[in-house]
Amino acid sequence: MNRLPIRKTYKLWIAGAFVRSESGRYDEAARDGDAGGAGLVINIPRASRKDVRDAVSAARAAAAPWAARTAYNRGQILYRAAEALESRGAQLAEFASHAEVEAAVDVLVHYAGWADKFHAVLGGINPVAAPFLSFSTPEPTGVVGVVSPDSPALLGLIAELAPALSAGNTVVAIVSEAEPLAGLDLAEVLAVSDIPAGVVNLLSGRRTELAAALVSHRDVNALVDAAGDAALSAELDRLGAETIMRVRHRRATETYDDAVADGLERIEAITELKTAWHPVGA
């Protein structure tokens, strides 16, 4: 008997759950033919400012428990995410090339390895002209917003997610506006990867609308902008200055080598150094 396949309903990923956009809005994306026929139209949830606020609230609630985990445990969880991503490579390859999926897996493994090592590199004992010792150690900055590039949709997103999570931050990410399906499918990987609810939140929709709401939110501590849009970058800098938010712009990551060449710098950009003083001999 001939039957119609069930069409997938795409949703946002907020607080560890698949949710519809609060506004009920959606955008249409045409998908090249598969068994269902050419030109299949898929509804992409169009997140609103309310969805941004919900995602930031979820990320803030998850921030302290995620940061309190041991660095080794965070590395294990990122490695598990890499395993889950590789196991679903064929599914994600519908919207990203096989090489891009493999590169994204390798990026997760790379930053899983950094999770329990960057403290030793960035921290240390500082010489001071007094009878004290000064100890510095990196800590996560908190909630990090990510504005993903249009392409490569999957690798460009993972390259910004992985260092933030490795450093102990939680993330609210705006997926590619032009090619959102790979980013939204990533939510299904995260759902089975042991990453706690709220640690990663994925939103789709109009980038300018969502990015402005994200950078203006006073509970977001830093923003990484990889969209490559000069006008948007200028607006994010202006809005971020109002709350003295750390806003970092970078070009889209196109290869594994691009993602890991400055791995420590990517981590350092979204950490804070905590310094404690201790009297010598005490």
SS (H, E, C) the chain: CCCCCCCCCCCEEECCEEECCCCCCEEEEEECCECCECCEEEEEECCCHHHHHHHHHHHHHHHHHHHHCCHHHHHHHHHHHHHHHHHCHHHHCCCCCHHHHHHHHHHHHHHHHHCCCHHHHHCEEECCCCCEEEEEEEEECCEEEEECCCCCHHHHHHHHHHHHHHCCCEEEEECCCCCCHHHHHHHHHHHCCCCCCCCEEEECCCHHHHHHHHHHCCCCCEEEECCCCHHHHHHHHHHHHHCCCEEEECCCCCCHHHHHHCHHHHHHCCEEEEEEEEECCC
Question: Is residue 35 domain-resident?
Answer: no
Q: Is residue 236 part of a domain?
A: yes
Cα distance between residue 144 and residue 267, in whole Å: 12
Sign of the dihedral through C-alpha 193, 196, 197, 201: negative
- Read off the pLDDT of residues 132-150 as tens digits, 9 standing for 90 and up: 788 899 999 999 999 999 9
Is residue 7 in some structural domain? no
Give me the mean pLDDT over the 98-116 stretch. Answer: 97
Do the domain assignments include residue 19? no
Q: Which domain holds residue 221?
A: 47-279
Q: Name which of 79-83, 96-100, 114-118, 278-282 the model is least confident about.
A: 278-282
Residue 24 CA to residue 255 CA, distance in Å, equals: 36
Query: pLDDT confidence of 35, banded at 50, 70, 90?
Result: very low
The arithmetic mean of pLDDT across residues 76-87, rounded, is 97
pLDDT above 70 covers a percentage of the chain that reads 95
What pLDDT score was predicted for residue 228? 95
With respect to residue 87, please indicate whether it lies within any of the assigned structural domains: yes
Asked whether residue 10 is assigned to any structural domain, the reply reads no
Which one is predicted more confidently, 31 or 121?
A: 121
20 located within any domain: no
Residue 39's pLDDT band, with cuts at 50, 70 and 90, is low
Does residue 157 have a pLDDT over 60?
yes
Report how many domains make up the chain.
1
- Residue pair 41/7 in contact (Cβ under 8 Å)? The answer is no
CATH code (residue 201):
3.40.605.10
Could you tell me if residue 24 is inside a domain? no
pTM: 0.93
Least-confidence region, from 56-70, 126-140, 192-206, 257-271: 126-140
